[in-house]
Structure 1
Amino acid sequence: MTTNRDRQRAAARARLEREMGVRAEQSRLRRRRNTTIAAGAGALIVLLAAAWVVIAVTSNGDKKEQAAADPSATPTTCSFLPLADPSASASPDPETAKYTKDVGMPPATGEARTGTQTMTLDTSVGTIKVEVDTAHAPCAAESFTYLASKKFFDNTSCHRLVLQQVYVLQCGDPSGTGYGGPSYRYAQENLPTDKRPAYGEGVVAMANNSQPASTGSQFFIVYKDIEDSAQLQPAYTVIGRVTEGLDLVKKVAAAGVQAGPSADPSTPPAEGKPKTEVNIKSLTMSAPQP
């Protein structure tokens, strides 16, 4: 016969097993989140972007096939595309409009294709400088140059810090939500497919939403080598490398992240908004240098 004590023990054991299952699932989800640097443009944007890419592939098949064959190659032209197909009859998603900062598009031609540029971030924690590889990432460099001229990044905050497996500080979203960006997008370039680690300490790269031609304005600074390439595939444009101020980013990382409202108090959060706020007062780009 089963006693009350036996039933209580069985119930307690069942609760423990359920809690362990929940914690295991939470851990799996955290690892999954940590493996992706996503711009978070939203499901509708992804669908619209995919539709536009299909149209672009149809009209520019040879060029796209060449890019697909060698995704790390420098593109011969820069195509800045609208977030949605302008010929579509549907109205833009209101959620997309809410997080988009429309400052127009960079020029279709005339981007610099040699040398380097210096990106200077005047932030609330100090000055961070990046040597931008204009020769190998001309489209990203042109986008930054254009957006900087429009003061797109001024008075924005770095909205995401990751502390485990993927060690990055992510910035470049005027809305501060992780969903924002400009009203255009462009293709990946200068992918570190032959680098180990692909994203080493000091690298600055562009976020995207894992879809073709989905690079926008969000970028991330790697403050510690990401040794395991499985945690971050070489699918994000490398724009350059930090030459000054990486110690500031490391201090921000050491301070940790803010706990969300539903966070487990017994488990320190692995990612979120940094406890030490990083506000970009201004972002400027120098002229290209040989």
Structure 2
Amino acid sequence: MASSRDRQRKLARAKFDRQLARRAEKERRRRRLSAGVGIALAVLLIAAGGAWIGGAFDGEESTETTAGDICLWTPQNTTSNPDLKDVGTPPTKDLPETGTETMTVTTNQGAPIVTSLDVGSAPCAAASMTYLAGKKFFDNTDCHEITTEGALRCGDPSGTGNGGPTYSFYDENVPTAPEPSPSASAAADKTVHYPKGTVALIGNPPGTNGSQFLIFLKDFAPAQPQYSIIGQVTGGQDTLDKIAKITTGENATGDKVTPKEKITIQSLTVGGTASAAPSAGAQS
């Protein structure tokens, strides 16, 4: 379970990033305004803009976290990334920090995939998945990749790999790679950090998690782990084994990761009971 000190550092960093984002937006507005005015007015605006950027007029929150905050969500701009989908943000307080929660992913490929979310190790990830599921963010979206690492990649409504909600949050439960031993063989150093059935978040770039997640279809032993583990598959392994056999073709960048058969999330829920398996006609 993440320590309270680590979480406070992440909260402070998230708030600081929010400040930087607001200041960057103010600077863009200032530049657009300055471009259309006379020299004299531009001089005044530049002087005022310097004070503005310096924070003289900022009414921003401090980097000190508010008592009771468990998670903070860093805003993402739809202007710079039109693939984002605005469904608001989860709460920051009164979130579960212990135990597990059931996540059920019903696809067109067979029986529902049931996952145990590790709330204790990744409370913000669990809170985000719960919130987005409540907004039906994942429903009727395609899993757009079977990665070269052997994982099913889902959670991007745009199907581009760039999509997600209009907020991000930091890693919580990334495995730590062991220090290499001079006497150990290369094979001995291949620690499986992501066993088959592991559910993890994938950020773009790493560390800026949103809605995209991986379900590992086989063991993965990276030299440097970078994905936050949020849970483990507890049911529906036959469905995942079926998905693992789907062949892939090249995407726009030439990577052979695009499934040649549609893998559609019909619904994703957190809590409650697992959905019934879709009918045979829905699996085509």
TM (normalized to structure 1)?
Answer: 0.64
Deviations 1:158-209 (A, max 9, x none): 00112x4x11110000111111100000011011116831111110000012
Contact 2:87–2:165 (CA under 8 A) maintained in structure 1: yes
Output the CA distance in 2 between the equivalents of 1:111 and 1:260: 39
Residue in 1 aligned with 2:211?
Answer: 217
Deviation string, structure 1 residues 236-271 (Cα, Å, up to 9, x no partner): 1110001112332222222211345786xxxxxx63
Query: Letter of the aligned partner of 2:271 in structure 1?
Result: S
Q: Deviations over 1:32-90 (max 9, x none)?
A: xxxxxxxxxxxxxxxxx9x827849x9548x8xxxxxxxxxxxx821111014xxxxxx
Contact kept in structure 2, 1:223 and 1:246, CA below 8 Å:
no
* Structure 2 Cα separation of the partners of residues 206 and 103 of structure 1: 19
Gaps of 5+ in 2: 1-13, 22-60, 179-190, 273-284
| Contact 2:70–2:94, Cα closer than 8 Å, also in 1 | no
1:255 aligned onto 2:246? yes
Q: 1:257 to 1:111 in 2, by over 3 A?
A: same
Matched residue, 1:139: 124
Check whether the contact 2:156–2:162 (CA below 8 A) recurs between aligned residues.
Answer: yes
Q: Pick the aligned partner of 1:174 from 157, 161, 168.
A: 157
Residues 74-124 of structure 1 show CA distances to partners (whole Å, capped at 9, x for unaligned) of xx821111014xxxxxx932xx12x11100000121111111000001110
Please tell me the residue identity of whatever aligns with 1:82: P
Report the counterpart of residue 75 of structure 2 in structure 1.
82
Give CA deviations for 1:12-46 in whole Å, capped at 9, x if unaligned: xxxxxxxxxxxxxxxxxxxxxxxxxxxxxxxxxxx
Structure 1 residue aligned with 2:100: 116
Query: Could you say which residue in structure 1 is the equivalent of 2:109?
Result: 125
Distance 1:117 1:102 in 2: 25
Kindly report the root-mean-square deviation, in angstroms, between the aligned alpha carbons of the 2 structures.
2.9
CA distance in 1, matches of 2:237, 2:250: 24
| Whole-angstrom distance in 1 between the partners of 2:252 and 2:225 | 33
Q: Distance in 1 between matches of 2:118 and 2:249?
A: 33
Choose between structure 1 and 2: higher helix proportion.
1
In the alignment, residue 284 of structure 1 is paired with which amino acid? Answer: T
Counterpart for residue 187 of structure 1:
170
Paired with 1:181 and 1:138, the residues of 2 have a C-alpha distance of: 19
Instruction: Tell me if the contact between 1:157 and 1:277 (Cα under 8 Å) persists in the aligned partners.
Output: yes
Inter-partner Cα distance in structure 2 for 1:247 and 1:174 = 25
Which residue does the alignment assign to 2:31?
Answer: none
Query: 1:280 & 1:133 partners in 2: Cα distance?
Result: 21
Identity among equivalent positions (%) equals: 43
| Structure 1 stretches of 4+ moved >6 Å | none
Output the CA distance in 1 between the equivalents of 2:63 and 2:85.
28
Letter of the 1:220 partner, please give it.
Answer: L
Counterpart secondary structure, 1:173: coil
Q: 1:54 to 1:224 in 2, by over 3 A?
A: farther
